[in-house]
Amino acid sequence: MKVSTKNKAVLLNLRNPEQVMAVVPKHKIIPYKGQNLLAVPHALEVVKLLRNMGIDAPSPIRHYYDWSGQYDPFAAQRDTAEFLTLNNRAFVLNDLGTGKTLASLWAYDYLRSIGQATRMLVISPLSTLERVWADEIFRHFPHLTFSVLHGTKKKRVKLLDQNVDVYIINHDGVKVMQDELVKRTDIDLILVDEIAQVARNAGTERWRALKKITKDAARLWGLTGTPIPNDPTDAWAQCRLVVPENVPPYFTRFRDQVMRQCGPYKWLPRDNALDVVHRAMQPSIRFDRDDCIDLPPLMYETREIPLTTVQAKMYKDMLSKLSTEHEGEQIQAVNEAVKLMKLVQIACGTAYSLDREVVVFEPTDRLQELRDIIASSNSKTIVFVPFTATAEMVAAHLEQNGITTGLIYGAISKNKRDEVFKAFQKADDPRVIVAQPAAMSHGLTLTAASTIVWFAPVTSAETYEQANARITRPGQNHSQLIVNLQGTPAESRIYDRLKDKATTQGVLLDLIKGVK
């Protein structure tokens, strides 16, 4: 097989070309080096026909698309984008940190450029609306317009009325906007990011809202690195959404295919459960992070998580208080970092009362995001938390949710720390270490983990760099990912300084400028 990019044709050397000629009317026989080759248009629909006949022709995206953006795609991203252009309904099961977002956007951009797609709707977790999807479009696709549908119902409707290429909405926003979205028949490509989070239970309002807006979609792509986080039955509702013809119409029939009952309330996976799930979740593509040899060894992500109502009020009140202190010249360079971290404390879900007692108010969305990242990681995870009270709260929360966790901070004895570190490196449990970064930012090798999550930032660039180095050491067999969680301007500015290896001096004063 050869591709003539000049003529936009695929040249085939076939024993029985008549089969292809019968389904591709526009063809031509071309003599080439003593052989007769069959030339067919190198077009998307023709390639789909060839693949259905067992001929592995490449998607036109590989030859005629100018990959938009600041850098060339990795091999896995090219393969994923190609796969999506050839499958109207499909799953992308690539591992965390393999570039699923960009690959999907490249596929859409190509389809749009050849008139095969018009507008795209991205349905994603709240934390990735701005910091992942919107940022990637802004950085790599300057010719595309987008709108983030977030806020009140009235605001979302107004944003949806904008004439843009890509609309981005959070999972729960679909319930609010389902009637308006159904009317938008010009949105012909829908992508559900982290589909296993939102669509593994067909009995929820979110699933029913998704079904309503996706059932007639020309293209529907589901993205997740962990398709069955709990049981093989998790696949059924996702398949009913994306490829309903692949699974029985009733959950119980699928459950009986993948699970066996061992008692009145106990079900265990059948030996062939994964094979059944694999067949059901087709077409699909999967790349592990470790298999992507051209990926950079260390990648960074930022996730934006909104504060709870209580946190938002406390943050606003604290910022106003600090502004007053600044006007009274009570904030100096020597104590600015301490004052700044009061804002970060609130974002973490802890604060001190007037009696210096710790008040804990769980940051539910941030904790949920943390659990999702841990579930998506293909190895163990380290969670860095700046404050002792928050570290204790996070560790307790993870344990309550069935995630074995080791806790490290200043008051933990050396012997206990050594036990945790040894078990983390050598045994199955704990799956997670929650730690104050200063308590383990130097010297340690913790290569059993390949993912680090910063629950909130620290103010020291050296501590940030050294803590991250716990997993980027000899003996590391995985690509590494650092995820920064943030939900406030204070955290965002601190992370920016940390990435630039700069001090955080002046961050607080910048924040309180103009605060009344």
Query: Which pLDDT belongs to residue 439?
Result: 87
Nearest Cα neighbor of 437 from 378, 396, 498, 379 is 498
The enclosing H or E element of 515 equals none
The predicted pLDDT at position 335 comes to 61
What is the DSSP annotation of 335-391?
A: HHHHHHHHHHHHHHTEEE-TTS-EEE---HHHHHHHHHHHHH-SSEEEEE-SSHHHH
Of 168, 174, 191, the C-alpha closest to 90 is 191
pLDDT at 140 > cutoff 90: yes
Q: pLDDT tens for residues 52-76? A: 999 999 999 999 999 999 889 999 9
Question: Using CB atoms within 10 A of its CB, is residue 251 exposed (0-12), middle (13-18) or buried (19+)?
Answer: middle
In the three-class reduction of DSSP (H, G, I as helix; E, B as strand; rest coil), residue 281 is classed as coil
pLDDT at position 331 is 38
pLDDT, greater one: 351 or 496: 496
Cα 80 to Cα 96: distance, rounded to the nearest angstrom: 14
* Burial degree of 16 (CB within 10 A; 0-12, 13-18, 19+): exposed
- pLDDT band at residue 516 using 50, 70 and 90 as cut-offs: very low
Contact indicator for 281, 227 with CB cutoff of 8 Å: yes
**125, 128, 123: which is closest to 177 by C-alpha?**
123
User: Residue 441: pLDDT above 90?
Assistant: no
Q: What is the DSSP string of 287-339?
A: --GGG-TTS-SEEEEEEE-PPPHHHHHHHHHHHHHHHHHHHTT---HHHHHHH
Instruction: Note the pLDDT tens digit of each residue in 474-489.
Output: 778 888 999 999 999 9
Looking at the DSSP bridge assignments, the partners of residue 406 are: 433
124 forms beta bridges with 170
* Rounded distance between C-alpha atoms, residue 300 and residue 131, angstroms: 12
Give the total residue count for the chain: 516
Q: How far apart are CA 177 and CA 168, in angstroms?
A: 12
pLDDT classification of 268: cutoffs 50, 70, 90: very high
Query: Which of 126-140, 182-196, 330-344, 432-446 is predicted least confidently?
Result: 330-344
Q: Which two tokens stand for residue 173?
A: 């926003």
Question: What mean pLDDT value characterizes the chain?
Answer: 91
CA atoms of 119 and 163, how far apart (whole Å): 10
- Position 167 scores a pLDDT of 99
Q: Which of residues 510 and 345 earns the better pLDDT score?
A: 345
Q: What is the mean pLDDT of residues 9-20?
A: 94
Q: What CATH topology corresponds to 71-291?
A: Rossmann fold (3.40.50)
Strand, coil or helix: what is 468? Answer: helix
Q: Which residues, 6 or more positions from 376, have their beta carbon under 8 angstroms from its beta carbon?
A: 95, 96, 225, 226
**Residue 332 — very low, low, confident or very high, per pLDDT cuts 50/70/90?**
very low
- Note the pLDDT of residue 515: 47
Tell me whether the CATH fold assigned to 71-291 matches the one assigned to 298-305+360-512.
yes
The pLDDT value recorded for residue 514 is 47
Q: Which of 259-273, 344-358, 418-432 shows the lowest mean pLDDT across its residues? A: 344-358
**Would you say 420 and 470 are in contact if contact means Cβ atoms under 8 Å apart?**
no
User: What's residue 127's pLDDT?
Assistant: 86
> Residue 333's pLDDT band (boundaries 50, 70, 90)?
very low
- Please identify which residue in the block is written with the tokens 């504060």: 307
Q: For the whole prediction, is pTM greater than 0.85?
A: no
Q: What is the pLDDT of residues 141-183, one digit of tens each?
A: 999 999 999 999 999 999 999 999 999 999 999 999 999 999 9
* pLDDT of 360: 83
Q: Tell me 207's DSSP state.
A: H
- pLDDT at residue number 374: 96
Sequence letter at residue 455: F
For the chain, the structural domain boundaries read: 2-58, 71-291, 298-305+360-512
Cα of 395 vs its chain's centroid, Å: 23
At residue 218, the 3 state secondary structure works out as coil
Answer whether residue 296 shows pLDDT above 80.
Answer: no
Does residue 394 come out as left (phi exceeding 0), alpha (psi in the -120 to 50 range) or beta?
alpha
Closest by CA position to 435, among listed 382, 374, 506, 365: 382
| 4 pLDDT more than 80 | yes
More confident residue, 478 or 199: 199
Superfamily of 298-305+360-512 according to CATH: P-loop containing nucleotide triphosphate hydrolases (3.40.50.300)
* Res. 413: pLDDT tops 70: yes
